[in-house]
Amino acid sequence: MLSTYPAGSSQQVNQWMLKTMQRYYLWADQIPSQTNIDQNPKDYFKSLLTKEDQFSVAIKKDDPGTIPQSVRTLFGFDFSVIQQHNQLTFALVKMVLEDSPAKRAGLQRGDIITGINELNVSPENVNKIMAAVSGSRTLLLKIAELKDNQLVFKRSVEVQAMLSFNQPLLSKILEVNNDKAGYLYLADFQDGLASSLVKPFQEFKGQNIRHLILDLRYNGGGSVSSAAALCALITDKLKSGTPFIVYKGNKNGGTVNHSIDQAFANGNQNISFDALKASALSLSEVYIITSANTASAAEVVINNLKPYIKVTQIGDKTLGKDMAAFTLSDTETPENKWVIYPMVYKIFNILDSGNYTSGIEPALMADEYAQLPLQPLGSKDETLLASTLLVITGQASSNLKTKSHNTKNMVFRILAESEKPENFIKIPL
């Protein structure tokens, strides 16, 4: 019999967490039999998790400090710390969100950072830098340019932590030999994305594109409903009632099968499935650009389209978040302000293919950092898009994969990334 503790106390919160996790958690059978309910709830929640679970989190609604934050969510950009073969080490800005603090401060994709908050970017300072950026509300950045294998100071940039708003879609029509290819970059799968997807797909359809390139390299996921909307727009084989996704939980959760329209309806979309399908293409192949930052709902697009059309993946291996979660709160105790977001299901496609915890390998590996400076996303000269166009035109060969490994060994190595696995969660509070 459970002891009774004051509502909202650590012990009451922890008892609720334990009971809820025992019911819903994917690895419920691995929760320790003996737990210490006198711990801080955040620490107690962590004590319930398996070692392989990098994503489940607990948040106190009235304590912003418990919410996982990242450089992207706080400042609106991502970077990698890179060491070149000549030992030059710097942070390279990979992406800058539109209408973000970083964008307003003048930061651009491809900027080279040599100092962050009085710390020089060096192999010895990597851990200090990552700790500094995660705990700061202001970033003081030294920007340099690469000249004759030397880093030359260019300017200073100050970025204040503020809100970044929903990101606009980047879409283009590219001429590829005598054909047309549609290019679509998506920063994430925010809920309600479906209606925004209609316009670019109407343009793709009107231009009679022969090829479609999805750029999901920095897409950490979000709404499966919005990912399903994207899939439904790509192929006419995904009609109402067509099986699309399988969720497998613990003995309590069981197996849940959703058709494409059910997956779509499981989100806050402001367009009907039938209206969405009016703009759908009828492609037999899609090209998807990925990186280690491609996760969750973005990986669903890759894996769950495969039973229906050919998916050619170019870039790097994805993160490997093949799990779904939902938000749980203590509805019976208003004093309990904690919300938990546990992994509840493993995700599979209709062919029972999943288990990509180690990431989804690309068909052709290509390195985004093979050539500096980084070109704008959507430019035909940008490394990963250029590699994709070579595949489309038949000029690429299997040695692209070999080239990737040689490039990594000879030109640079990545010492750190601003995004971490725990940042690849979208928590609806």
Strand runs labelled E in 260-362: 285-290, 310-315, 323-325, 328-329, 338-341, 343-348
Task: Judge if 104 and 226 occupy the same domain.
Answer: no
Cβ atoms of 405 and 317 closer than 8 Å: no
Q: Does the pLDDT of residue 407 top 70, yes or no?
A: no
DSSP H or E stretch at residue 284: none
CA distance 346 to 357: 10
Residue 428 lies in a domain: no
| pTM exceeds 0.75, yes or no | yes
Mean pLDDT of the chain: 92
Residue 329 lies in a domain: no
Residue 38 lies in a domain: no
Q: Does the pLDDT of residue 419 top 90, yes or no?
A: no
pLDDT at 404: 40
Residue 208 lies in a domain: yes
Task: Judge if 136 and 218 occupy the same domain.
Answer: no
The pLDDT confidence band at residue 410, using thresholds 50, 70 and 90, is very low
Task: Judge if 190 and 313 occupy the same domain.
Answer: yes
Task: Judge if 201 and 284 occupy the same domain.
Answer: yes
DSSP H or E stretch at residue 34: none
Q: How many domains does the chain have?
A: 2
pLDDT at 397: 58
Of 60-74, 343-357, 388-402, the poorest mean pLDDT is in 388-402
Residue 409 lies in a domain: no
Task: Judge if 183 and 276 occupy the same domain.
Answer: yes
Could you tell me where the DSSP H helices lie in 121-182?
126-134
Task: Judge if 97 and 223 occupy the same domain.
Answer: no
pLDDT at 426: 56
The residue among 121, 138, 158 that closes a domain is 158
Task: Judge if 153 and 172 occupy the same domain.
Answer: no
pLDDT at 406: 38
Over residues 271-317, the pLDDT tens digits come to 999 999 999 999 999 999 999 999 999 999 999 999 999 999 999 99
The pLDDT confidence band at residue 13, using thresholds 50, 70 and 90, is very high
pLDDT at 421: 58
Q: Does the pLDDT of residue 193 top 50, yes or no?
A: yes
Task: Judge if 218 and 149 occupy the same domain.
Answer: no
Higher-pLDDT residue of 1, 42: 42
What are the DSSP calls for 205-265, one per residue? HHTT-SEEEEE-TT---B-HHHHHHHHHHH-TT--TT-EEEEEE--TTT-EEEEEHHHHHH
Of 131-135, 199-203, 307-311, the poorest mean pLDDT is in 131-135
DSSP state for residue 270 in the 8-state scheme: S
Residue 44 lies in a domain: no
Angle between helices 297-305 and 224-234 (to 10 degrees): 30
Residue 80 lies in a domain: yes
Q: What's the CATH number where 392 sits?
A: 3.90.226.10
Task: Judge if 314 and 213 occupy the same domain.
Answer: yes
Task: Judge if 264 and 385 occupy the same domain.
Answer: yes
Over residues 76-112, the pLDDT tens digits come to 999 999 998 778 999 999 999 999 999 999 999 999 9
Range of the domain at 249: 168-322+344-396
Task: Judge if 175 and 153 occupy the same domain.
Answer: no
Task: Judge if 175 and 115 occupy the same domain.
Answer: no
Over residues 32-46, the pLDDT tens digits come to 999 999 999 999 999
The pLDDT confidence band at residue 69, using thresholds 50, 70 and 90, is confident
Residues 6+ apart with CB under 8 A from 5: 11, 12, 15
Q: Does the pLDDT of residue 402 top 80, yes or no?
A: no
Residue 63 lies in a domain: no
